[in-house]
A and B are shown apart, each in its own frame.
Chain A
Amino acid sequence: MNVVIASSSIDGGIGCWDLQTGAEQLRYKTCASPPHGLASIGSSFLACSQLRDPSATSGHVLYWSWSKPQAQVKSFPAEPIKPIAANSEGSYIVGGGSSGDIYFWEVATGRLLKKWHAHYRAVTCLVFSEDDSLLISGSEDGCVRVWSLFMIFDDVRQQQASHLYEYSFTEHTLRVTDIAMGYGGGNAIIVSASEDRTCKVWSLSRGRLLRNVVFPSIIDAIAIDSGEHVFYAGGRDGKIYIAALNAESSPSNNYGLHIIGSLTDQRPVTCMAYSAEGNLLLSGSEDGMIRVWDMKTKNIVRMFRHSKGPVNNILIVRLSYPLNRSESKVQASSRRHEFSLHPPLEKYANSSDEDIDNKTIITLPDTIDLPSYLSSQLINDHIKQLQQQGSSAAAEMEVKRLKLDGQRSMEMFQQLKKVYDNLQEFCVNELLDGQPMDGSKGN
C-alpha cells in the first residue's frame, strides 16, 4: 500500500494516510520537523529530525516504528541536524548539520561512520541518487554539491584529490530550498530551487547548468514528473508552476521562459511530492492542508488535514504490508524485536573500538533451495562408475594382471612343493637310514 506521511514545523505529529482510499492511519506523536527532516528508513521505520527552538545549539533525531505512535529511539547528534535522508535499503542515514557538516551513520549499529565539512553554511537538503552511490546536498550558501560516497570512504584517494566533491554548483545566489533528482543514473538531471527565485536544471553527467528558470516568486518545493516532461514548482505566492523540462514552451508565456502554466493553491506551497501511480501531485501548504492534485485534470481530488501549522514534509512510502490498526498490534509484537535492534545514532565518530570497526552487521541474502530429486541422476552416476570399472579395456588389464599373479603363484607353489619334496625325502632317508624309530614325518 502507498501511504502519505507528512509532518509540520509546529508539533502536529506525523500524519499518515492511505493514498488510495484517503483513510487516515496512525498518527505518530510529538514531531516538529524542519523542512526535509522526515525520512522513511528503507520503509522499515520512520525517522525525523527535530528542531523546536531555532536558536538551540542541539537538536535530536527520533525514530518511530510504523506500528506505534510513540517515538521509540531518540538520538542526540553533536549539532542541530535539519535535513536527513536514507539510502533505499535503509542501511545508512545522512544528516546535514547547521555548521555545514554532513554526518553519515550506519543504521544497524548507530555508528557515525563519516563526517565531513560539506558547505560553508548550514545544509538545507540532502538527496540520494537512484543507485545510492551519489549524495546531493544543498546549502544556505546557495551551493549544490554532488558527492560520491565511494570517494568519501576512500582515505587514500582523498589525499590525492584537491576536493572531496564531484561537482560543486555555485550558480544559486541564495539559500537552496529543495533538490529533486531525475531518472537515469549517471546521466540524470538534478533540479534545484532557491530563494533567489530560480530553479536550475543541472546535468549530472556534464556537471553543468542546463537550464535556468526564473519564477515570479520564491520556490520552496519542487517535484519532477516521472516522464521528466515537466517539473512542478511550488511558490510562496500560492501557485504551483509547471515548468518545462522536456516539454516545449512557448516564449510568449504569462509567467516567463520555460514556464508552461500553473495551478493555484490559496496558500503558500511549502512542500510537494509526486506519485507516478495515477499521476498525482501532492502539495502541502501553510494552512496545514495537503492537497492531492490529479495532474491530468488539474483538479484537486483529495485533501488531508494535517495540522494548523505549515506542512513542511510530504513523503509517499510504499509499504509491503498493510498498516491496519487491527493488524498493527500483531505487527507490533513481531516487529518490536527487530526494531529494538537499532541503537540511537552516535554523537561522535568512535574509532577507538577497533573490533566493532572491523565488523558489520548484515542480513544475509535470502536464497531459495529448490527441492530436487536425485535418484535418476544417481543411477546415471553409478552406472558410469560401474562402466568405468567394467570397461573392456580395464577388464583386459585386470585379467592380464590376474594371470600374471596366478602364474607367479603357480611358480611359487612349484618351488615350495619342491622344497617340501626334498625335505620329505631327506626325512624319510634319515629315518630309514638311522634308527628305525617310529615317528611321524612332520605334519
Chain B
Amino acid sequence: MYDVGLKPSMLRSLIRQYLPAANQPLDLNTSCFELPKLVSVLQTHRLLSELDSHSVGPKLINAWKLAVDDWLGCLLSLLSSDMSDKCWVGICLLGVTCQECSNQRFLTSYSVWLDKLLSHIQPPSESQLVKIASCTSLSDLLTRLARFPEEGAASLLYTLITFFPASIHHSYDKVEAAIASKILSGKYSTITLKKLGYCLALLPKSKGDKDSWSLMMQKILISINDHLNEAFQGVEEEAKSDDARRLLVTPGKDLPSPLGGHTSLESGSYNRTSSERLPTATISTLMFCCCKMLTSSYPVQVTAPVRSILALVERLLTVDGSLPPTMLPFMNSVQRELICSELPVLHAYSLELLIAIIKGMRRQLLPHSAYVVRVVTRYFKICALPELRIKLYSIIRMLLLSMGVGMAIYLAPDVIDNSFSDLNSPGGEDFEISPVNTGPVLPQPSNRKRKHGTKTGSVEKQEGANPKGGESNIHQMTPINVKVAALDSLELLLTVGSASKSDSWRSSIDSLVIRTAINSCKRGWGNVENNVFLPNESASLWADFQLSSLRALLASFLAPARVRPPYLSQGLELFRRGKQEAGTKLGQFCGYALFALEVLIHPRALPLDDFYSAYHNPTDGASNRFPENTYSGSQKQNTLFFSAAQRTDEGAIKSHNDDLYNKWLENEHNAVEDMKDKTSRPNDSSLANVLEVSEQEPAAANADVHMRGEDEMVVQPRRLEEPIPKSQEIVSAKVDKSPPAVGTNLEGGEIESKKALSASDSLNDIDHDMLSGVNKVDDFDTVSRKTSSTLPNVEKGSSSMAHLESESSMDSFPNIVDADPDTDSDSV
C-alpha cells in the first residue's frame, strides 16, 4: 500500500481500466460513472505526484515519469477528440492533474494545457458541460499557477489578459452591465444568481477605490428600492417609499446612473409582464450582493450608507402582507397571496443583510445600535417562522458579543421573553415520549420531503411524529432547532450579561435551563450515527439540542451570581452521566463542564508568581493561615501543605488561595455568631421546588462532607494521622477568639470554612462507614457541632433571595457537592 515502486504500474493499470481509448466509443453509463473512483485513487495514492525522487532509484523515477507521460498523452488525445463526452472526460481529468502533478511537470507543460483548455471555451458550438468543465479546469490551473510567486503573478496576469482581451478594469461598465442584466432578469437558478451577485459585489475591487464601492452600493440599494416600490404597492403606505428614497439620494445631488445601465423599473415591469411573479429572485440577489459587499475585504476604507441599509431592512420587515389601515384595499387577493408567499424569503434576506451590517461595522455600529435593537426586538414579537426566529436569535447573539455588557443590560428582557416562550412551548422534548415512538431515538419523520428545507421540514417532522398531539397543538409547537437557537442565546446572555443587573431574571432563567436540560436528557442520548435510514439532520438535531441545553446549563452555573447555583447537584449528575458517552461531542463537552466546574467548587484566586516570597512577613501569623489552607486545598495543594506544615512559611506561600468575593463581602457582616444561631432552623420549603433534590439536604450535606473526607483519604492515605489533632486544635483556638477586635470580617469567613473542613478531617478519622449511615452523623456531637455551621448556608444557598450578610458565606462555603455518593466514589 505504501510501496512507492508500485505507483507507476498502478497508474498504468488505471489508464487501461478507466480511460477510454481514442478509437473506441465511450460508454457513458459505465466508465464515465467510475471517474470519481479514479480520481479518489489518484488522490489517495498521489499517483501523479512523482514524489520521493530522492529516496528511490533512477529506474523508478524514469518508470514513473513515463507512466505520467502516458497519462497525459491519453488525456490530451481525449481533449482533441471530436466526441464531446470524451472531451469532457479529458478536461475534467486535466483539471485534477493540474492539482496533483509535480511542480516541475506543471511548470513545463501548463502553457500547452492552457491553450488546449482555452480552445474549448471559445467555440460557441461546444456542449454546455464541456464549457463548464473547461472553465473549472482553467480555474484550477490558475489556482495552481498562483502558487508560484515569481512566474505565477506574471503568467496569471498574462492569462487573464489573453482571456479577457481588455482587462476587467477597462471593461468595468460592460461587466457590470452584463451581470446586472442577468440579475435583473431574474431568470436563472438561485445558485447561479448568487454567484452572479457575488461577482457583482467583488467587481468594485478591480478598481479598488473608495468611490466605486459607494457608488455600487448606492446603485444596488436604489435598484432594490425601486423593485420594492413596485412590489409593495398596496401593502404599505406610499410615504414609506418616499422616505426610503430620500435616505438613498441626497437632495441636490445627482442620481447615479442605474445599475448596469438599465433602468430597473423597465426591467422590473418587463419581468412582471413576462411572468406573474414578484421579482423576489432579483431583490434577494441584490440583497445578497449587499451582504457580500459589506463582509468582503476591500483595500481602502469605504463610506457605508448604514442608515439607508437599516431603513431598507426595517421597511422589508414591517411589511407582513396585511393591509395598512389607512389604505383602501384596491389590491386583489391574488396579488396579496403572491406577496405573502414571497415575503418569508425577503424577510430572511433582510435579516441576512442585518447580520452583514453587524459584521461589517463591528464596534462602529454603536451610534446605530439602538435602532438595530429596536428593529430586531419589534420583529421578534411578530415573527413566527422557525427559520426566521433562528436567524433572529443569531442576530441577538452577535449583538451581545459585539456590543458587550452595555448592550446585554438592555437586551436581556427581550432575549428572556422570547427564549422563555420558545423553550416552554410544547415541542421537541415532549413528543419524543409520546407512545408512538418506541426507541430513545428521536424524531422519526414520517415524510421525507426534505427539499423544502428546514423551514417547513421541522414542523412537518413533528406533525408526523406526534399524530396524537391533536391538531390544535401542532401549530404552537416550537421546532427543536428554534429551541437550540434559544438555548444558545441564553447561554451567551448568561456569559456576557449575567453579572450586571440580572437580579430580576436570574433565578427564573436558572430554573428554566435546568428544566430544559433535564428534559432533554431524560430519555438517553441522541446519537448522530444511530440510524442510516433517517435523514442525517433529525438525529443530529436532537444531539445538538442536548448539547446546547448542557452548554446553557454550564453557563448558568459559571455565571457570576450571589448565591450558590441552586441546581448544581442535578447538573453535576447530568454532566457525569453525559461524560460516559465517550466518543461523542456531548461526552467531550460534559468532561469539559466537569473540569470547569471544579473551579466553582474549589474557588481559587492565586497570587502572581512568588508574591509571598516578596511580601509575606513570616512573623505575620502564619499559623492563622494554616487551617484555611486545608479548606482551600485542592488535593495537590494538600500534599504540599502537609509536608510543609512545619515550615509554615512555605506552606502558606504554596497553598495560599482564597475567594475574592468572600473577603470583600465579609466586610459587611461579622456574623460567625449569627450563623450559629441560625443553624437550628429547620430546613424548609426553600428546596421544595428543586427538582429531584434529595429530601434531606442536611443529610446530603453531611454525607458530602464525609465524601470529601473519603476522597482525600483515598488519595493521600498518609495524611490520616497527621491532620486530626492539629486541625481540631486550631479550630478550637479560632473559635475562642472568634470575635476578634481587628479585621473581624476577613477572619470571620475563614473560620467557617476552616471548621467545615476540619470537620471533614475529623470525620475521616471517626467513622469510615458513615457513608452507609448518614444519619449517624448526629451521634457524634463534635462532628455535628462543627458541621452545623455549614448547614445554614445550605438553606440559604437554595433560597435565592438570600440575605446579603449570608452571601459571603455562600460564596466562600466549601462547595457542598450534593453528589450522589455512588457516582462520586466511582470517579475516584
Please tell me if B166 contacts chain A, counting CB pairs below 8 Å. no
Please tell me if A204 contacts chain B, counting CB pairs below 8 Å. yes
Inter-chain contact A378/B132, CB cutoff 8 Å: yes
Inter-chain contact B410/A150, CB cutoff 8 Å: yes
Inter-chain contact A186/B297, CB cutoff 8 Å: no
Which A70-124 residues have a C-beta within 8 angstroms of B? 87, 89, 91-92, 106, 108, 113
- Taken together as a complex, chains A and B put the C-alpha atoms of A132 and B362 apart, in Å, by 12
Interchain CB contact (< 8 A) of A378 among B136, B374, B614 = B136
- Taken together as a complex, chains A and B put the C-alpha atoms of A328 and B727 apart, in Å, by 65
- Taken together as a complex, chains A and B put the C-alpha atoms of A354 and B307 apart, in Å, by 10
Q: What's the minimum C-beta distance from B458 to chain A, rounded to whole angstroms?
A: 26
Please tell me if A187 contacts chain B, counting CB pairs below 8 Å. yes
Inter-chain contact B99/A201, CB cutoff 8 Å: no
Residues of A within 8 A of B407 (CB): 133, 148, 150
Please tell me if A40 contacts chain B, counting CB pairs below 8 Å. no
- Taken together as a complex, chains A and B put the C-alpha atoms of A242 and B611 apart, in Å, by 11
Inter-chain contact A386/B32, CB cutoff 8 Å: yes
Q: What's the minimum C-beta distance from A67 to chain B, rounded to whole angstroms?
A: 20
Please tell me if A238 contacts chain B, counting CB pairs below 8 Å. no
Which B77-100 residues have a C-beta within 8 angstroms of A? 88, 92-96, 98-99
Please tell me if B39 contacts chain A, counting CB pairs below 8 Å. yes
Q: Give the dominant DSSP class at B's interface.
A: helix
Known pairs A150-B406, A358-B247; A383 contacts B140 (CB<8 A): no
- Taken together as a complex, chains A and B put the C-alpha atoms of A210 and B29 apart, in Å, by 79
Closest A residue to B143 by beta carbon equals: A371
Please tell me if B147 contacts chain A, counting CB pairs below 8 Å. yes
Which B612-627 residues have a C-beta within 8 angstroms of A? 614-615, 617, 620-621, 625
Q: Render B85-121 as a binary contact track against A, CB cut-off 8 A, 1 for contact.
A: 0001000111110110000000000000000000000
Inter-chain contact B98/A132, CB cutoff 8 Å: no
Inter-chain contact A298/B614, CB cutoff 8 Å: yes
Residues of A within 8 A of B374 (CB): 156
Q: Which of B266-274, B496-504, B762-770, B782-790 contacts A (4 or more CB under 8 A)?
A: B496-504
Q: Which of B55-63, B321-329, B365-373, B697-705 contacts A (4 or more CB under 8 A)?
A: B365-373
- Taken together as a complex, chains A and B put the C-alpha atoms of A394 and B369 apart, in Å, by 55
Inter-chain contact B359/A155, CB cutoff 8 Å: no
- Taken together as a complex, chains A and B put the C-alpha atoms of A89 and B501 apart, in Å, by 27
Residues of A within 8 A of B746 (CB): 248-249, 251
Q: What's the minimum C-beta distance from A281 to chain B, rounded to whole angstroms?
A: 12
Q: What's the minimum C-beta distance from A426 to chain B, rounded to whole angstroms?
A: 48
Please tell me if B308 contacts chain A, counting CB pairs below 8 Å. yes
Which B325-379 residues have a C-beta within 8 angstroms of A? 359-364, 366-370, 373-374
Inter-chain contact B366/A366, CB cutoff 8 Å: no
Interchain CB contact (< 8 A) of B95 among A153, A185, A375 = A375
Inter-chain contact A382/B625, CB cutoff 8 Å: no
Interchain CB contact (< 8 A) of B301 among A108, A230, A383 = A108
- Taken together as a complex, chains A and B put the C-alpha atoms of A246 and B746 apart, in Å, by 11
Please tell me if A365 contacts chain B, counting CB pairs below 8 Å. yes
Q: What's the minimum C-beta distance from A300 to chain B, rounded to whole angstroms?
A: 14
Residues of A within 8 A of B32 (CB): 383, 386
Known pairs A227-B606, A360-B303, A383-B33; A365 contacts B362 (CB<8 A): yes
- Taken together as a complex, chains A and B put the C-alpha atoms of A151 and B369 apart, in Å, by 9
Inter-chain contact A150/B363, CB cutoff 8 Å: no
Residues of B within 8 A of A190 (CB): none
Please tell me if B638 contacts chain A, counting CB pairs below 8 Å. no
Please tell me if B660 contacts chain A, counting CB pairs below 8 Å. yes
Q: What's the minimum C-beta distance from B324 to chain A, rounded to whole angstroms?
A: 23
Interchain CB contact (< 8 A) of A251 among B500, B664, B742 = B742
Number of residues of chain A lying within 8 A (CB) of chain B: 86
Residues of A within 8 A of B29 (CB): 390
Interchain CB contact (< 8 A) of B607 among A184, A206, A229 = A229
Please tell me if B440 contacts chain A, counting CB pairs below 8 Å. no
Q: What's the minimum C-beta distance from B532 to chain A, rounded to whole angstroms?
A: 20
Please tell me if B139 contacts chain A, counting CB pairs below 8 Å. yes
Known pairs A91-B364, A204-B500, A211-B664; A375 contacts B99 (CB<8 A): yes
Interchain CB contact (< 8 A) of A246 among B296, B501, B660 = B660
Closest B residue to A134 by beta carbon equals: B406
Known pairs A247-B607, A297-B614, A358-B247; A185 contacts B405 (CB<8 A): yes
Interchain CB contact (< 8 A) of A360 among B98, B247, B361, B660 = B361
Please tell me if A260 contacts chain B, counting CB pairs below 8 Å. yes
Q: What's the minimum C-beta distance from A422 to chain B, rounded to whole angstroms?
A: 45
Known pairs A91-B363, A367-B295, A383-B36; A129 contacts B303 (CB<8 A): no
Which A179-231 residues have a C-beta within 8 angstroms of B? 184-187, 201, 203-207, 210-211, 225-230
Inter-chain contact A373/B360, CB cutoff 8 Å: no
Q: Give the dominant DSSP class at A's interface.
A: loop
Q: Render A361-378 as a binary contact track against B, CB cut-off 8 A, 1 for contact.
A: 111111100011111101
Inter-chain contact B304/A246, CB cutoff 8 Å: no
Which B282-298 residues have a C-beta within 8 angstroms of A? 294-298
Closest A residue to B611 by beta carbon equals: A229
- Taken together as a complex, chains A and B put the C-alpha atoms of A229 and B606 apart, in Å, by 8
Interchain CB contact (< 8 A) of B363 among A132, A151, A354 = A132
Please tell me if A53 contacts chain B, counting CB pairs below 8 Å. no
Residues of B within 8 A of A247 (CB): 607, 611, 615
Inter-chain contact A187/B297, CB cutoff 8 Å: no
Please tell me if B183 contacts chain A, counting CB pairs below 8 Å. no
Residues of A within 8 A of B94 (CB): 375
Q: What's the minimum C-beta distance from A44 to chain B, rounded to whole angstroms?
A: 12
Inter-chain contact B302/A364, CB cutoff 8 Å: yes
Please tell me if A162 contacts chain B, counting CB pairs below 8 Å. no
Inter-chain contact A154/B370, CB cutoff 8 Å: yes
Residues of A within 8 A of B96 (CB): 373, 375-376, 379
Interchain CB contact (< 8 A) of A248 among B28, B133, B140, B663 = B663
Please tell me if B161 contacts chain A, counting CB pairs below 8 Å. no
Residues of B within 8 A of A354 (CB): 250
Inter-chain contact A365/B305, CB cutoff 8 Å: no
Inter-chain contact A360/B658, CB cutoff 8 Å: no
Inter-chain contact B560/A187, CB cutoff 8 Å: yes
- Taken together as a complex, chains A and B put the C-alpha atoms of A87 and B362 apart, in Å, by 12
Inter-chain contact A157/B370, CB cutoff 8 Å: yes
Please tell me if A409 contacts chain B, counting CB pairs below 8 Å. no
- Taken together as a complex, chains A and B put the C-alpha atoms of A378 and B94 apart, in Å, by 12
Known pairs A186-B498, A246-B663, A390-B29; A151 contacts B406 (CB<8 A): yes
Inter-chain contact A149/B406, CB cutoff 8 Å: yes
- Taken together as a complex, chains A and B put the C-alpha atoms of A191 and B658 apart, in Å, by 20
Inter-chain contact A92/B136, CB cutoff 8 Å: no
Please tell me if B609 contacts chain A, counting CB pairs below 8 Å. yes
Inter-chain contact B615/A382, CB cutoff 8 Å: no
* Most chain A CB within a 10 A radius of its CB, from B98, B366, B496, B617: B366
Please tell me if B524 contacts chain A, counting CB pairs below 8 Å. no
Inter-chain contact A371/B366, CB cutoff 8 Å: no
* Most chain B CB within a 10 A radius of its CB, from A89, A133, A225, A297: A133
Known pairs A89-B362, A365-B362; A113 contacts B406 (CB<8 A): no
Residues of A within 8 A of B740 (CB): 251
Q: What's the minimum C-beta distance from A358 to chain B, rounded to whole angstroms?
A: 3
Known pairs A129-B405, A358-B306; A382 contacts B88 (CB<8 A): yes
- Taken together as a complex, chains A and B put the C-alpha atoms of A270 and B756 apart, in Å, by 46
Known pairs A205-B499, A245-B660; A387 contacts B36 (CB<8 A): no
Inter-chain contact A376/B366, CB cutoff 8 Å: no
Inter-chain contact A379/B304, CB cutoff 8 Å: no
Q: Could you list some 5 contacts between A and B, CB below 8 A?
A: A227-B608, A364-B297, A364-B360, A366-B297, A382-B92
Known pairs A186-B496, A360-B306, A383-B32. 17 more at Cβ < 8 A? A132-B363, A148-B405, A150-B407, A203-B664, A204-B499, A248-B625, A296-B610, A357-B307, A359-B303, A360-B304, A360-B361, A361-B304, A373-B140, A375-B94, A375-B133, A376-B99, A387-B33
| A-to-B contact residues, CB < 8 Å | 87, 89, 91-92, 106, 108, 113, 129, 131-134, 148-151, 153-157, 166, 184-187, 201, 203-207, 210-211, 225-230, 242, 245-252, 257, 260-261, 279, 295-298, 341, 354-355, 357-367, 371-376, 378-380, 382-383, 385-387, 390
